[in-house]
Amino acid sequence: MSKWRLEVFSDGVFAIAITLLVLEIRVPELTAPTAAALAMKLVAQWPAYLAYVTSFLLIGIIWVNHHALSTRTMRVDRPIVIVNLFVLMAVSFLPFPTAVIARYPQLPPSILLYGVTLTILVVFANVLWQLVLRGDHLDRNAATPRAVRQTSLRLALGIVAYAIATPVGFFVPKLGIALFLLIVIFYYVPGGLDMDLEKAPKHPEDVTN
Amino acid sequence: MSKWRLEVFSDGVFAIAITLLVLEIRVPELTAPTAAALAMKLVAQWPAYLAYVTSFLLIGIIWVNHHALSTRTMRVDRPIVIVNLFVLMAVSFLPFPTAVIARYPQLPPSILLYGVTLTILVVFANVLWQLVLRGDHLDRNAATPRAVRQTSLRLALGIVAYAIATPVGFFVPKLGIALFLLIVIFYYVPGGLDMDLEKAPKHPEDVTN
Amino acid sequence: MSKWRLEVFSDGVFAIAITLLVLEIRVPELTAPTAAALAMKLVAQWPAYLAYVTSFLLIGIIWVNHHALSTRTMRVDRPIVIVNLFVLMAVSFLPFPTAVIARYPQLPPSILLYGVTLTILVVFANVLWQLVLRGDHLDRNAATPRAVRQTSLRLALGIVAYAIATPVGFFVPKLGIALFLLIVIFYYVPGGLDMDLEKAPKHPEDVTN
Amino acid sequence: MSKWRLEVFSDGVFAIAITLLVLEIRVPELTAPTAAALAMKLVAQWPAYLAYVTSFLLIGIIWVNHHALSTRTMRVDRPIVIVNLFVLMAVSFLPFPTAVIARYPQLPPSILLYGVTLTILVVFANVLWQLVLRGDHLDRNAATPRAVRQTSLRLALGIVAYAIATPVGFFVPKLGIALFLLIVIFYYVPGGLDMDLEKAPKHPEDVTN
């Protein structure tokens, strides 16, 4: 499996999943199409917009990190391809829990579904990272030991974070939603491999570009 | 972050968002499926077609300009990646306001939603441009000072244009729709970096191609 | 505009439009979910499958021809980018007429909508071809004069074919559908640039691959 | 037709089809939106999740194998491009039978539709493989005779497997679904060209990467 094609396929899935999110925001059905009714309905579905932004930012940062990782990966083997497929399966599934939470934001099962999906996603991401790390696929010249340790920590923390946010959200849905958004924002704080972004090996195309 | 992968991901999102627009045009539901009823319903939803064309042309020209910019950008850093993600978030969101305006073209809130989305989009586009400009990421050999000044002006004008068209459209919906279309057409007039298209540095693949 | 990015974007739109077609085939709604009822409903919507196959083959062959053309194009300029965008707009729109014809195959307006869309598409394709031809963008070493003449003829014939099939189909819907399928099959017969496929200049990546 | 563009287009279709699968999982409609009702409805549609996972894994492994094949293919000609298009048509169609089986898992026609689609898909895949094999397009240095024989066998077995699972499933739907999942899992066992993954010729981009 060439790394190049794995990247194109993964980027395709990320780009599609992130764009499909909008399909879950529904055009309001109005019995009497007045301006006031439309405005009210549009405002009333604010949880749908919040869910859209949260899931968009989440897939976006996963894409950024996936890139930071694959740039430093020297070669991929079958287990990496398969686990990567599982990561993509969880990412592709995300529009569904997003739609459920957008529709029924106040109901605990929505939070549970969203939280479990993210927990599974972050577990797969950890497995992928460990495979790259242990199989010696990582280009050590492109990743400082500190960045590697930090990435391991940040990824592992993700499991803890979602494992806490999910049950909390089951009992206090609004707090759960806030925590889901907070966790995503946390990952936007630079750190780990990501921090070394500038030091990443250049893609051959960029050199001459 | 390699520029190459940022382009592939962005192009993916542009291509998907532009293609998803059609899903918002609905097949008419007919109680009695006669030719006359179908013809009437198909004609009656002309605002949906107009909204489709407007949004398609808009995403199309954003793609052209995004390309003109990225061709002349020498390297990307984390802030550029993040702001680019926000531009993509606004672009991906566009099918929703397009669907709302297609469904309720005569209602002010539809115009407001569409206009606000575009205003936000153009603000993000301005921030992205300023980041590239100030961070000295621009290849000055590939962009004349005049083209740079014109691009700054054209992008800033976009904010003004949508900031005027949106409230106007709120009070006179039909005029608002006409203005939205006009603004898009304006951006198809060559100018700025775009004008220098022929002078753009060639992609390495094109040289040998 | 680099040819490379135009290809990636166009391929993206082709790939998405061709894959979205399936979303227009609807899962039957059953009041009483029995095997017989489901089987009957699935069989009854055979026009939807036929429309799917026709539109899929159509976008597929447009993609093949688009590729045959772009391989032999040495450089692209702004008019080509814009007209290419119009070709993509017609292609992206195709899922809608396909859905209408799938739903109301016996009604003349469905045939008219489908036929008019294809006529517009093929007109744009002709304009694109003429732009490439007249602007001297074509790599003459990669296209024999005979192949060029044949391509011009085949593309022009497309306009004639759809201009005939559309009104015919308006009066005899079933004949119209048959003609639409026949026209697509005709384009699968090798000819024009397409015929020279083997002689096309190799993509730089293929040489070492 | 350059191999490169065939790969980009095919990867695009695979990525989109695999991501569209999620759109077929529907947000439950609740008459009274209570936590218990939502939880029950979400659990009740477990066949939809199972169908999602089965079809996702199926498209995923087709993509892996498509890649293993195209890496070792030296050049493509028109028949290969056309048959590849037919493979993609079957893959793109998959979200529809998946949606039907997810909705009516207990009804024989659902199993029949799913099984027939897969049978057709695997027949096309066999034709594609034979075209590559007989037309001497395969890079024999990159594929041991044993791997070639095994791939022929595994692909032919697919026809047999689906030709058995489909009628079995028609009479015992639950057994059919289990068999469909089993067949997919079987293809995840390394073998054939796939097994030689490490020995595959490197993509030029990977060498310097």
Q: How far is C39 from chain B (nearest CA, A)?
A: 23
B73: confidence class by pLDDT, cuts 50, 70, 90: confident
Nearest to C144 by CA among C188, C204, C195, C186: C195
Query: Phi and psi (nearest 5°) for C190?
Result: -60, 150
Burial C125-161 (b: 16+ CB within 10 A, else e): bbbbbebbeeeebbeeebbeeebbebbeebbeebbeb
Flag whether pLDDT at A181 surpasses 90.
Answer: yes
pLDDT top residue among A4 and B132: B132
Check residue C206 and give its pLDDT: 44
Q: What is the pLDDT of residue C1?
A: 63
Would you call A8 and B8 a contact, using CB atoms and an 8 Å cutoff? yes
Does A9 sit within 8 Å of D35, measured CB to CB? no
Q: What percent of chain A has pLDDT over 90?
A: 63
Q: Hey, of D19, D38, D59, D196, which one would you mutate to test binding to chain A, going by the most A CBs within 10 A of its CB? A: D19
Q: Stretch D194-201: mean pLDDT, rounded?
A: 54
pLDDT, tens digit (0-9, with 9 covering 90-100), for C26-55: 999 998 899 999 999 999 999 999 999 999
Predicted pLDDT of residue B206: 44
Secondary structure (H, E, C), C80-93 = HHHHHHHHHHHHHH
Structure tokens at A146: 């500190």
pLDDT digits (tens, 9 = 90+) for A67-77: 888 888 888 88
Tokens standing for residue A192? 């780990």
Give residue D22's pLDDT: 93
A12-63 tens-digit pLDDT = 999 999 999 998 899 999 988 899 999 999 999 999 999 999 999 999 999 9
Q: Does B19 touch chain C (CB under 8 A)?
A: yes
Q: Name beta bridge partners: A73.
A: A138
Contact state of A8 with B4 under an 8 Å Cβ cutoff: no
B23-38 average pLDDT score: 91
Give yes or no for residue C71 having a pLDDT over 60.
yes
Q: What is the mean pLDDT of residues B164-193?
A: 91
Q: Within an 8 Å CB–CB cutoff, is residue D142 touching chain C?
A: no
For residue A157, the tally of other CB atoms under 10 A from its CB is: 14
Contact B2 A27 (CB under 8 A): no
Q: Hey, where are the domains in chain A? A: 3-208
Other beta carbons within 10 angstroms of residue D4's beta carbon come to 19
State the average pLDDT over residues D125-154: 87
Partner D contacted by C25 (CB < 8 A): yes
Kindly list the residues from chain A whose CB atom is less than 8 angstroms away from the CB atom of residue D23.
Answer: 20, 23, 95
Look at residue C146 and tell me whether its pLDDT is greater than 50: yes
Residue D110 has pLDDT above 50, yes or no: yes
CA distance B81 to B74: 14
Does the pLDDT of residue D148 top 80, yes or no? yes
Task: Pick from A27, A53, A69 the residue to mutate for testing the B interface (most B CBs within 10 Å).
Answer: A27
**A109 pLDDT more than 90:** yes
Interchain CB contact of B187 with C (< 8 Å): no
What is the predicted pLDDT for the residue at D71? 82
pLDDT confidence band for D169 (50 / 70 / 90): very high
pLDDT, average across residues D103-115: 94
Give the closest of D11, D27, D198 to A77, CB-based: D198
Nearest to C98, CA basis, from C67, C57, C64, C126: C57
Tell me if C104 and B33 make a contact (CB, 8 A cut-off).
yes
* Interface with B, mutate which of C104, C172, C206 (most B CBs under 10 A): C104
User: What pLDDT shows up at residue C175?
Assistant: 94
Q: Which of B14, B39, B52 sits opposite C9 (nearest CB)?
A: B14
Q: To the nearest whole angstrom, how far is the Cα of C127 from the nearest Cα of chain D?
A: 23
Contact C113 B52 (CB under 8 A): no
Q: Which of residues 84-123 of C touch B (CB under 8 A)?
A: 85, 88-89, 92-96, 99-100, 103-104, 107-110, 113
pLDDT (tens digit per residue) in B128-157: 999 998 877 888 777 788 888 998 999 999
Tell me: pLDDT of A206 over 50. Answer: no
Does the CB of A208 have a partner CB in chain B at under 8 Å?
Answer: yes
List alpha helices for chain A, DSSP H: 3-20, 35-44, 46-72, 78-93, 95-103, 108-134, 145-171, 173-188, 204-208
Burial A72-100 (b: 16+ CB within 10 A, else e): bbbbbebebbbbbbbbbbbbbbbbbbbbb
Average pLDDT on D102-117 reads 94
Helices (H), chain B: 3-20, 35-44, 46-72, 78-93, 95-103, 108-134, 145-171, 173-188, 204-208
- Listed by number, the residues of chain D in 38-57 with a beta carbon closer than 8 Å to a beta carbon of chain A are 38-39, 42, 52-53, 56-57
Radius of gyration of chain D (CA): 19
pLDDT of D5: 80
Mean pLDDT across chain A, nearest whole number?
87
Residues of A with Cβ-Cβ distance to D7 under 8 angstroms: 5, 8
Mutate to test the interface with C, among B16, B24, B42 (most CBs of C within 10 A): B42
Instruction: Provide the pLDDT for residue D209.
Output: 34
Q: How confident is the model at residue C207 (pLDDT cuts 50, 70, 90)?
A: very low
Q: How far is A69 from chain D (nearest CA, A)?
A: 13
Model confidence at C136: pLDDT above 70? yes
pLDDT at D58: 94
Residue-wise burial string across B77-88, b where 16 or more C-beta atoms lie within 10 A, e elsewhere:
ebebbbbbbbbb
**C-alpha angle C115-C118-C121 in degrees, rounded to nearest 5:** 155
Inter-chain touch D3–C203, beta carbons under 8 Å: yes
| Residue C202, φ and ψ in degrees, nearest 5 | -75, 145
Q: Give the distance from residue C87's alpha carbon to the nearest chain D alpha carbon, in angstroms.
A: 17
How far apart, in whole angstroms, are the C-alpha atoms of residue D168 and residue D185?
A: 18
Q: How far is CA C202 from the centre of its chain?
A: 24
> C111-117: long-range contacts (C-beta < 8 A, 24 or more apart)?
C111/C166, C111/C169, C111/C170, C111/C173, C111/C176, C111/C177, C112/C166, C112/C169, C112/C170, C113/B42, C114/C169, C114/C180, C115/C162, C115/C165, C115/C166, C115/C167, C115/C169, C115/C170, C115/C176, C115/C180, C116/C166, C117/C90, C117/C93
Q: Does B33 touch chain C (CB under 8 A)?
A: yes
D78 and C52 in contact by Cβ < 8 A? no
The identity of residue A136, as a single letter, is D
Give partners of C (≥3 CB pairs < 8 A): B, D
Half-sphere exposure of C150 (CA within 13 A, CB side): 16
Query: For B106-113, what is the mean pLDDT?
Result: 94
Contact B7, C5 (CB under 8 A): yes
DSSP C26: P
| Residues D166 and C170 sit within 8 Å (Cβ to Cβ) | no
**A67 close contact with B: CB closer than 8 A:** yes
The structure tokens 């598409």 sit at: C121
Q: A-chain residues within 8 Å CB-CB of B20?
A: 19-20, 22-23
Nearest in space to A156 (alpha carbons), one of A181, A112, A126, A131: A126
Tell me: pLDDT of C91 over 70. yes
**3-state class percentages of chain C: helix first, strand second, coil last, to nearest 5:** 80, 0, 20
